[in-house]
Amino acid sequence: MTNRLEDVLENSGMAVDIVPVEGELNVGPQHPGSGHMRILVKLNGDIIEDVDLDVGYVHRAVEKLGENRNYMHLIPLVERPAILDSIHMNLGYVMAVEKIINVDVPERAQYLRSFAAEVNRIASHLYGLGILGIFLGHSTAFMWGFGDREVWVHILEMLTGARVTNSYIIPGGVRRDLTPAIIEETKKAITYMRKKLEDWKKIFLYNPTIRARLENVGVMTKEKAIEWGAVGPNLRASGVYYDVRKIEPYAAYPKLDFEIPVYKEGDGYARTMVRFEEVEQSLRMLEQIIKEIPEGNILSDRFFKQIPPTRLKKWWEGYRRIVLPGYYASFRPPKGEAVTRVEAARGELLYYLVSDGSAKPYRLRMVTPSYRLINVMRNLAKGSRFADLVSIYGSLDYFPPEADR
């Protein structure tokens, strides 16, 4: 066959002169494919030689503000970095506070925490898949991701009163109880989502274009994933069985039956598959929670007793809602420190809280999953093709506000 370009050119007497193109390229900070972040890419042809992530465009100084507010006022603040995953941000922080003030959480509240967390996980994964879709030019996935997410956001709204930034979890329990209407709506949502996941597979997961953009792109080996400190679905897609819900179970997870999807390929497709299967597992967990949730109080007795009887009658007996007891106004926890972690939608979320006995934390350290992905993304993008930069970004589900905090 003489169809090869070189042969054709030679026969015709023409030649190709390859001019190496090198240079730096700015992606962002307002690029739709970069989020609020600038990626400085050093290119050689279309191969990425080096990447510098210029993060910090959405830095909210959570850690500094944490030293200037009292413990309750910090609940809405720590949620802000990841509004689409705020239940987890809330939960990790409250668990740290609970550890310092040493309070037990009633069983029903533990189940409600897991319920809210799993609903939020589904919503967050759908958001991530939508963003990945639009990065790859698949605008249907973007519409579907945000549309289907709305179903779960609606349940969170019914449960907590807010679509996002719920501030639902408080020290000692949760703010509102589950009602029959929410259970009904959740059952409908689970049926809908199961049906919709089949459609998702047909149009997105098994789509040859999507597979071509994700398979063997941004491959992270198990060794590298451990070395770079990857977290969450990205770590599990590289063959590491690691999920805080199993390693160090919190809330109602010790009693729930669920599996952790692990893939060994480590490419963008494996990361997407892990998220899909986690949605399926979350649906399973929600079914179990609805069935098995025990009766009882949703706030620790220690705080529940402080609510004035008239307000208790009106709000708790009338609407199944907790009125914040006076203790919360500006309590002074004992001296001490706590390290807690939860499995947020994007991976492990760590809080390190140091109390000096005053009404404000002495130091609040918040390490979000996306923060730890900065290092992963920087290393992973090196050596890949420029067109795959967005594919790597999207498949990691990196979320700039969460990383900047």
Partner 1 sequence: MQRPIDNVLNLVKSKFNAQVKAESDARGQIEVDKKAIVEVAKLLKEQGFDHVKSVTGIDFPEQEKIQIVYHVSSYSNPELAKVILALKTYVTYKEPKMQSLYEVWESAWTGERETYEMLGVYFEGHPDMRRLFLPEDFEGVYPLRKSYKIKLEGLFVDKQA
Using CB under 8 A as the criterion, which residues of the chain lie in contact with partner 1 when the complex forms? 55-56, 59, 61, 63-65, 67-68, 225-229, 235, 240-242, 247-248, 339, 341, 348, 350, 352, 354, 362-363, 365, 367, 371-372, 374-375, 404
Is 74 or 122 the residue whose CB approaches partner 1 more closely? 74
Is 108 or 341 the residue whose CB approaches partner 1 more closely? 341
Identity at 362, one-letter amino acid code: Y
Is 216 or 221 the residue whose CB approaches partner 1 more closely? 221
For the bound state, the minimum distance from the C-beta of residue 374 to partner 1, rounded and expressed in Å, comes to 5
Is 96 or 112 the residue whose CB approaches partner 1 more closely? 96
Is 157 or 337 the residue whose CB approaches partner 1 more closely? 337
Sequence-distant (6+) residues with CB within 8 A of 157 are 163
- Pairing mode of beta strands 38-44, 169-170: unpaired
Is 327 or 352 the residue whose CB approaches partner 1 more closely? 352
- What is the rounded CA–CA span in Å between residue 104 and residue 151? 32
Helices (H), 258-368: 268-292, 301-304, 309-311, 318-319
Is 219 or 374 the residue whose CB approaches partner 1 more closely? 374
For the bound state, the minimum distance from the C-beta of residue 245 to partner 1, rounded and expressed in Å, comes to 13
For the bound state, the minimum distance from the C-beta of residue 4 to partner 1, rounded and expressed in Å, comes to 43
Is residue 191 exposed (0-12), middle (13-18) or buried (19+ Cβ within 10 Å)? exposed
* Residue 96 CA: distances (Å) to CA of 91, 259, 347, 349: 9, 26, 18, 12
For the bound state, the minimum distance from the C-beta of residue 393 to partner 1, rounded and expressed in Å, comes to 17
For tokens 């994700």, what's the residue? Answer: 214
For the bound state, the minimum distance from the C-beta of residue 400 to partner 1, rounded and expressed in Å, comes to 11
Count Cα atoms within 13 angstroms, Cβ side, for 136. 30
Is 68 or 179 the residue whose CB approaches partner 1 more closely? 68
For tokens 């413990």, what's the residue? Answer: 71
At residue 403, φ and ψ (nearest 5 deg) are: -70, -40
**Which of 85, 74, 69, 28 is closest to 52 using CA atoms?**
28
For the bound state, the minimum distance from the C-beta of residue 367 to partner 1, rounded and expressed in Å, comes to 4
For the bound state, the minimum distance from the C-beta of residue 38 to partner 1, rounded and expressed in Å, comes to 12
For the bound state, the minimum distance from the C-beta of residue 368 to partner 1, rounded and expressed in Å, comes to 10
At residue 118, φ and ψ (nearest 5 deg) are: -70, -40
Q: In this structure, which long-range contacts are made by residues 311-320, counting pairs with CB atoms below 8 Å and at least 24 apart in sequence? A: 320/176, 320/177, 320/179
**Which of 39, 23, 43 is closest to 31 using CA atoms?**
39
Is 73 or 332 the residue whose CB approaches partner 1 more closely? 73
Count Cα atoms within 13 angstroms, Cβ side, for 66. 23
- Pairing mode of beta strands 173-174, 38-44: unpaired
